[in-house]
Structure 1
């Protein structure tokens, strides 16, 4: 099911914008665009989304900005000691050779490699993580509310399509009953032609073949199964929780019965009804893709 939500927040020295959007999907496919450097954010965000979504292709993104932290400048004691030893060694060797060197300044020594260290002070991202995940829960609540509103509107559409399928199934039953005299007459005509063309034909065998033709043309089972599928669809529509996969399977069963009805119709009116059924079922199948 499609959906979108956005939320802005600030806490723990940071500003952020959460955003989630989703489109239809057979399963749950979650893609994240999250900043690095916050331990546990990816795992926490995925767990939160998975707890509220069972189906759909979703993208969760976070834009985060934090106040730039000045890098701390520190004197590396070991590096300073090594630098002073080196300066002393150079001075002693120069004096031994009679070379006069100017005394190095503190600035000169600080420029030597390894004397100074720069880097950000280690940061505890725990408070920021807690604030982000708390705000994510609010975002997901808004997201769920939007999807629920869409779901209620979708339920009305699907309920109407189920009702139309039930109506067409009733019309098919009426048309099947109306064609019974035509079918019986056709069977009698076939029987007469067979008996006239094959005097030595086994009457029992002929009767068996005609009975088989009558069974193949009977659509009672298909109409009964359509009625059962309509009842199942209405139960699914009333259920709480994820029913999209069950609806997917049920739509296959609906279409199977409609196809069989068309193939066995042998009657223009029944064929028309079967084609109308297939059209409505196909439209409903498209809508069902939006159901979680």
Structure 2
């Protein structure tokens, strides 16, 4: 059994909490010719950027990814601390000014209320606690990537069903065109003889051999059997790609180009209204298929 077909469109979210710190990963992906990632992480967590890119490269082949990590440290404990460097500058300065002005020496309250003397600082976290939290954040990243893979595969399954249905339509139209093509030589000969009769009052002046040559040339120019055979081969190849699954979007897109080339040639060679109508319907169906294929990884 082949691998699952994946879409390049998806969304995933994973959350976690440890020691009063909460976090959430958000992953979004859209169509892209290659694999491209834009990652936003808070200050102090830049090391995760490389890990994100490495994990994406291991799990995906194509798509434009937007990854965002939000961390909330509001519950982290803080303490009041004296900035010794500023305090050592303030005390001598306050004492000198008090002496120069013969004023009352500043109180402790007054000194402590000066900006910068007292400051709130986060309590230092033990290294093992920080390592544990970072490990859990990376685990949440893996969970988000796994969820993204599932959503892309679910969407890919829907794309596969739609593409299979459209390939069935192309196959049906190819068979209808083949039936009409079988009647083309006789129809061309009939039209040629009618036109010749209208142009010449006496058709006996034209040799049977010359008539046969002209009709053969017209039939050869209008022959679409090769185009129809290639269409059938492309349908079979596309079905095989969908069956085998995996990252097949590029090859399916190439086949859509080949489909369109054959349909264009069919229309240009057609001298029959019904066959031209089939060619136009073929082109419309191929375009619908191409729009779906653009989303396949």
Name 2:71's counterpart in structure 1.
64
SS of structure 1 residue aligned to 2:252: helix
SS of structure 2 residue aligned to 1:7: strand
Cα distance change, pair 114–140 in 1 and its aligned pair in 2 (3 A):
closer
Name 1:289's counterpart in structure 2.
294
Q: TM-score when scaled to structure 1? A: 0.78
Give me the CA root mean square deviation: 3.7
What is the deviation of 1:239? 3.0
Q: Answer yes or no: is the 8 Å Cα contact 2:98–2:104 preserved in 1.
A: no
Name 2:107's counterpart in structure 1.
105
Distance of 2:47 and 2:210 partners within structure 1: 76
Cα distance change, pair 160–82 in 1 and its aligned pair in 2 (3 A):
closer
Name 2:159's counterpart in structure 1.
154
Q: Answer yes or no: is the 8 Å Cα contact 1:77–1:115 preserved in 2.
A: yes
Deviates more, 1:139-148 or 1:42-51: 42-51
Q: TM-score when scaled to structure 2? A: 0.77
Q: Which has the larger radius of gyration?
A: 1
Q: Answer yes or no: is the 8 Å Cα contact 1:226–1:254 preserved in 2.
A: yes
Residue among 12, 15, 24 paired with 1:17: 24
Indicate yes or no: 2:231 matched with 1:264.
no
1:206-285 alignment runs, 5 A limit: 213-285=218-290
Distance of 1:20 and 1:196 partners within structure 2: 78
Q: Answer yes or no: is the 8 Å Cα contact 1:3–1:23 preserved in 2.
A: yes
Distance of 1:106 and 1:154 partners within structure 2: 73
Q: Answer yes or no: is the 8 Å Cα contact 2:267–2:276 preserved in 1.
A: yes
Higher relative contact order (CA 8 A, sep 6+): 2
Indicate yes or no: 2:44 matched with 1:42.
no
Q: Answer yes or no: is the 8 Å Cα contact 1:8–1:18 preserved in 2.
A: yes
Distance of 1:276 and 1:269 partners within structure 2: 11
Distance of 2:106 and 2:169 partners within structure 1: 95
Distance of 2:168 and 2:81 partners within structure 1: 77
Structure 2: segments with no counterpart, 5+ residues: 1-6
